[in-house]
Structure 1
Amino acid sequence: MRAGIIGGGFMALVHARALRALGVEVAGVASSSQASAVMAAERIGATRAFPTVGELIASSDVEVVHVCSPNSTHATFAAQAVAAGKAVVCEKPLATTVEDALRLARAASEAGVPTAVPFVYRFYPVVREIRARVMRGDIGRPLLLHGSYLQDWLADPAETDWRVSSTLGGASRAFADIGVHWCDVVEFVTGQRITRLNAKMTTAFGSRGNEPESVETEDIVTMMFETDGQASGSLMVSQVSSGRKNRLAFSIDGEAGALAFNQEEPNTLWAGSTTENRIIHTGSSAMSLGDVQRLTLLPPGHPQGYQDAFNAFLADAYGRFEGLPVRDVPTFEDGLRAALLTDAVTRSSQLESWVDVSSLTRVAAPVSSVQAPVS
């Protein structure tokens, strides 16, 4: 299968590395202009620079379209790819509104087009180990889900980026960008859904850049929540926490024990009980069989990281695109779920009260367990 990438920034490079690891040809790239596409093609190793996005999507050389452009363009480009019958890997947010996310999920389902959204933290071996232990009942019923996703790339008000703009990035930044990752991975490992939440969105710096421009999107989100499994939870999201580079951390506290993960130390699992605490390393004999071992590429002491998780995500996504019975690949439905959570966080912050998360869990046309393979 051959891939085409829309966009030429950091995430396009991550996608291209994962595709090369799979042995998939990056047949082309399109960007905001022909000149930027040429530069992107050289940077990510694409075979061809397409003059326009439309030409990339229409090309017979491209069977899978990867949408890695600014957030405000995701819905448009993904819809065009679906209409062309191409498999689609779309960066999150799938869309900047619930309505657009719902339209995309329904369109892909009705067309039988296979899709994927890179909620890649699901693909760490330690995360799969936590899921296996929770599902086995090792820690009993989960009572408390808590943690944070902290970054510092915007801790200096002189720093700015297109993501800061509500026009290009959407009305929510910190939560839509990284908070949804935390929610996805915690819902994935527990099998529970957040049903109610109370959130506050805070903008730490009202202006940014050397030539200050006003900022409308949030830097910080604090959130309390409840789940359909009667668990309580709390989450802190920040892009202005000095020293925290990409710290997605969560703890699952159950009736009989606790489990914790920190993405800045992704090869260790913390397991706690009233009698002892243990640190378990990726690849050790204490890890589960099956999915955990499948995703464990190296012996203990040889660290795996974010790019490895991303590679595993794309390997499973492409397996599903080809009609294999691959489970747990996040799809447009998961992108819709993230949009619903973002909408609830925004409404809660505006109303300064608890709100229900929409119960919409499935698009109008049911999606089969194995989507149609790409022809």
Structure 2
Amino acid sequence: MNKVNIGMVGYKFMGKAHSHAYRDLHMFFPEAAAPVMKLICGRDEKGVAQAAEQFGWDGYVTDWRELLARPDIDVIDINAPSDAHKEIALAAAKAGKHLFCEKPLALTLADSREMLEAAEQAGVKHMVGFNYRFSPAVQLAKKLVNEGRLGQIYHFRAWFLQDWIVDPDFPLVWRLQKEVAGSGSHGDLGAHLIDLAHFLVGDMTEVIGMSETFIKERPMPSSMTGLSAKGSKDGPRGEVTVDDATLFLTRFANGALGSFEATRFAPGHRCTNSFEINGSKGSVKFDFERMNELQVYFRDDAEDVQGFRRVLCTDPSHAYMQAWWPPGHTIGFEQTFIHEVVELMNALSEDRKPVPNFADGVKCQQVLEAVDQSIAQRRWVRIDEL
């Protein structure tokens, strides 16, 4: 498969990120199959037409069903709001289209399982959008764990902190409405932490959590895009139906302990997506705001030079970096999506499942709902209960 024709649903924040990845991939990874940007879809014709021209798509439609009817479309990319994922994915699988869907996979565990089953029965490839896995520094952390260089893993602690809705007069965007988003910081930010934990440490066995919605009502929006919106603080207000912050503890199947915090109420933290792993032989620390770096500590270093060292993950020996710039020249957020699409393109060419795929999305959703159940019932919940 030398070329892969893409039909994409969604054209705002994630639509721009995915479009950039498709457009620039072959410049840096010419050995991968080339994604062809056929059609982009959005309900607002003016908005999607502008996006099609700006992002470089061949054309646009306003009904996603038109994408499925096109025999020349190979992959359906779904980055519309979460409430649209299931319907589009089920229909696309039935139409024999491969699937690339943003996280969280669906609004509920039951829906995500249905999506996985439909894709598997249809025999189509499926991928879920956990882009942070594809940071070279995260890939190095994975390598150190896999090679046993950190020893037995004791702790995984992670936190994803943002501050974009601290203002109580920030409008009620779709991400703050449960019927559209599924959940708040838990499903939006916490899902990334859960996937990183699964990727780096392994499966979880039980969880206990707590959450809070600090601002109960907000002004209705007059317009919104990405993480920004406009609205009058003196106008009508609506109820916030998702969590503003969720914290939980977990036990991993390998005996490690974990702690997770996801909040949009941490002033000064624009996108602090961080984790630390402690093992019997050493530790690593990662902060996405310094995404090209991994802090590494080894216990067997000479005593007089022990301490966390900064590893700049820009040498060709680090994952994906052979395609980029000379050592020391850093990459950014957008490159994680290019690496993600490289995996998708290679999987299609090699006739294998991409990683992460819908099974990883289901596993993440299972933890999300176990935490929700724990909060509602004020008890430890085993993952295998769900």
Q: TM-score, normalised by structure 1?
A: 0.89
Equivalent position amino acid for 2:364 in 1: A
* Structure 1 counterpart SS, 2:356: coil
Map of 2:145 onto structure 1: 134
Larger mean Cα displacement after TM superposition, 291-300 or 136-145:
291-300
Q: What is the SS of the residue equivalent to 1:14?
A: helix
Q: CA deviation at 1:339?
A: 1.3
Q: Which has the higher strand share?
A: 2
Structure 2 CA distance, aligned partners of 1:99 and 1:42?
Answer: 38
Q: Tell me the residue number matched to 1:364.
A: none
Counterpart of 2:325 in structure 1 is 298
Q: Which deviates further from its counterpart, 210-219 or 342-351?
A: 210-219
Shift of 1:21: 1.3
Worse-matched range after superposition: 151-160 or 231-240: 151-160
Q: How far does residue 37 in structure 1 lie from its aligned partner after superposition?
A: 2.9
For 2:290, the equivalent position in structure 1 comes to 265
The alpha carbon displacement at 1:276 in A equals 2.5
| CA–CA distance in structure 1, aligned partners of residues 323 and 160 of structure 2 | 24
3-state SS, counterpart of residue 117 of structure 1: strand
1:168 alignment partner AA: V
SS of 2:114's partner is helix
Distance 1:204 1:75, change over 3 A: same
Name 1:372's counterpart in structure 2.
none
- Say whether 1:46 aligns with 2:57: yes
Residue range with higher mean Cα deviation, 241-250 or 294-303? 294-303
Question: What is the correspondence of 1:1-375 to structure 2 with a 5 Å cutoff?
Answer: 1-23=4-26, 24-160=35-171, 161-170=173-182, 172-190=183-201, 192-209=202-219, 210=233, 211=235, 212-274=237-299, 275-284=306-315, 289=317, 292=319, 297-323=324-350, 329-358=355-384
2: distance between equivalents of 1:86 and 1:322? 15
8 A contact 1:283–1:293 mirrored in 2: no
Alpha-carbon deviation of 1:215? 0.8
Query: Which SS does the other structure have where 2:329 is aligned?
Result: coil
- For structure 1, the residue ranges without an aligned partner over 5 or more in a row are 361-375
Name the aligned partner's letter for residue 207 of structure 2: L
Cα distance between partner residues in 2 of 1:21 and 1:114: 22
Q: 1:359 to 1:254 in 2, by over 3 A?
A: farther
AA aligned to 1:241 is: A
Length-normalised TM-score, structure 2? 0.87
Q: Report the CA distance between 1:338 and its aligned residue.
A: 1.7
Contact 2:315/2:322, CA 8 A, preserved across alignment: no
Cα drift, residue 293 of structure 1: 5.5
Shift in Å, 1:295: 6.3
Distance change in 2, residues 1:296/1:156 (3 Å): farther
Quick one: distance in 1 between partners of 2:290 and 2:129?
20
Contact kept, 8 Å, 1:151 with 1:247, in 2: the verdict is yes
Q: Distance in 1 between matches of 2:68 and 2:132?
A: 28
Aligned pair in 2 of structure 1 residues 134, 156: CA closer, same or farther (>3 Å)?
Answer: same
Which amino acid in 2 is paired with 1:47? D
User: Aligned equivalents of 1:359 and 1:322: distance in 2?
Assistant: 38
CA deviation vs aligned residue, 1:255-290 (integer Å, no higher than 9, x gap): 1111111100011111124532211111359xxx5x
Name the CA shift for 1:51/1:256 in 2 (closer, same or farther; >3 Å). closer
Separation (CA, whole Å) in 2 of partners of 1:101 and 1:168: 15
Q: Distance in 1 between matches of 2:263 and 2:174?
A: 17
Which deviates more from structure 2 when the two are superposed, residues 209-218 or residues 273-282?
273-282
Offset, 1:136 = 1.1
Structure 1 contact 176–338 (Cα < 8 Å) conserved: no
Gaps of 5+ in 2: 27-34, 220-232, 300-305
Task: Report the Cα distance in structure 2 between the residues aligned to 1:309 and 1:359, rounded to whole angstroms.
Answer: 34
Name the amino acid aligned to 1:355. Answer: V
Quote the Cα distance in structure 1 between the aligned partners of 2:282 and 2:297.
6
Letter in 2 for 1:243: G
Q: Residue 46 and residue 182 in structure 1: after superposition, are their counterparts in 2 closer, same or farther (change >3 A)?
A: same
Distance 1:280 1:238 in 2: 28
3-state SS, counterpart of residue 296 of structure 2: strand
RMSD (CA atoms): 1.8
Q: Determine if contact 2:293/2:311 at 8 Å carries over to the other structure.
A: yes
1:317-350 per-position Cα deviation (integer Å, ceiling 9, x unaligned): 1111223568x62111111112111111110111
What's the offset of the Cα at 1:296? 6.5
SS in 2 for 1:292: coil
Corresponding position of 1:365: none
**Identity, % of aligned positions:** 27
* Aligned-partner Cα distance in 2 for 1:341–1:4: 31
Task: Look up the equivalent residue of 1:120 and give its one-letter code.
Answer: N
**Distance in 2 of aligned mates of 1:342 and 1:35:** 36
Mapped to 2, the partners of 1:346 and 1:180 lie a distance apart of: 13
Residue of structure 2 equivalent to 1:371: none
Distance 1:353 1:223 in 2: 11
Q: Residues 322 and 152 of structure 1: is their aligned pair in 2 closer, same or farther, counting only changes over 3 Å?
A: same
Kept after mapping to 2: 8 A contact 1:26/1:45: yes
